[in-house]
Amino acid sequence: MTDLISLVVPFYNEAEAIPYFCATLLPALEAIAGTDWEIICVDDGSTDTTLLQLVALSQADPRFRVIEFSRNFGKEAALTAGIDAARGAAVIPIDADLQDPPELIAQMLAAWRAGAEVVLARRTDRASDGMLKRKTAAWFYRLHNHMSHTKIPENVGDFRLMDRVVVNALKQLPERQRFMKGLFAWVGFRTVTIDYARPPRAAGATKFSGFALWNFALEGFTSFSTAPLKIWTYLGALTALGTVLYALYIVIYTVVFGNKVPGYASLFVAITFFGSVQLISIGLLGEYIGRIYVETKQRPSYLIRKTHGRFDGT
């Protein structure tokens, strides 16, 4: 009996990386016996020759299937589309830049055959990422896992194996703004972890700037925790108490010593402080309301222009 395994690969301007990707991936797959493969390539609105190369691949090798987005929808949408289209008994999202080593797939399959429903690949060595990216990532996980009931495993990316039951569970989640790491963690299931050292990019440059990562982290917090909304109530109560105490102090001071200096400074400090607390909390409310707004529009998370390769039930 041969199982069909689906690889889901998001591509955004990866023209330089594709030759390396194929040269490493295909031998790694051939070395694994007893499995059929489908490689679902999602072209996330690339503006270079990525799509041309992918279509050529799908024409030469029926294992390659290509989904062509109408524009750049982002990696999360690309993964969602690939997972939606996957037909395999297990699904493995993998980056196109070889930072997720295909050699690990054999180990993942072994763990899956031994009964795991999710096999995570954990990076033990992120030396290929800069110091700042590593530190901010560590802070993100610590803060997120403190605030949210859904614990996201640290140093685990999207590279993982998911059994069909897990994939079906994921496909049932209706939200449009998809923070995949969080959704993966939310569904749960029997999980096994494999360690690996994360290599540098094979070619090309990273698609995530510092600001994109910041927005991504914010998305993670607000998608999986309402703690940022709730802390303001407590902080507000605390600062209100502080104000009452301070006001009492001023009254008593004035009664005892008289009003020598008009309190410009203290007034100014108090006004700006409370002003800023209010602005921050309004901003936070805005984050959540924005999310509600986006979800209520019920727009799809991606649009497909065309598919290439076998998509007609074969």
Nearer to Mg ion, 21 or 221 (CB): 21
What is the rounded distance in angstroms from the CA atom of residue 157 to the CA atom of residue 244?
Answer: 48
* DSSP E strands, the chain: 3-11, 35-43, 64-69, 90-93, 118-125, 156-163, 191-197, 304-308
What is the rounded distance in angstroms from the CA atom of residue 33 to the CA atom of residue 25?
Answer: 15
**Minimum CB separation from ligand UDP for residue 130, in Å?**
10
- Applying CB under 6 A, the span of 68-76, 160-168, 259-267, 299-307 interacting with ligand UDP comes to 68-76
**Minimum CB separation from Mg ion for residue 11, in Å?**
12
Q: Is 204 left (phi over 0), alpha (psi -120 to 50) or beta?
A: left
**Minimum CB separation from ligand UDP for residue 3, in Å?**
25
- Applying CB under 6 A, the span of 51-59, 69-77, 178-186, 290-298 interacting with ligand UDP comes to 69-77
**Minimum CB separation from Mg ion for residue 97, in Å?**
4
User: With CB cut-offs between 5 and 8 Å by kind, which of ligand UDP, Mg ion, none does residue 74 bind?
Assistant: ligand UDP
Mask for 77-116, x = binds Mg ion (CB under 5 A): --------------------x-x-----------------
Measure Cα distances from 191 to 153, 194, 293 in Å.
11, 10, 34
Report the 3 state secondary structure along 39-94: EEEEECCCCCCHHHHHHHHHHHCCCEEEEEECCCCCHHHHHHHHHHHCCCCEEEEC
Residues 189, 208, 253, 273: which binds ligand UDP (CB under 6 A)? 208
**Minimum CB separation from ligand UDP for residue 175, in Å?**
19
What residue ranges bind ligand UDP (CB under 6 A)? Answer: 10-12, 14, 44, 72, 74-75, 78, 95-97, 99, 206-208
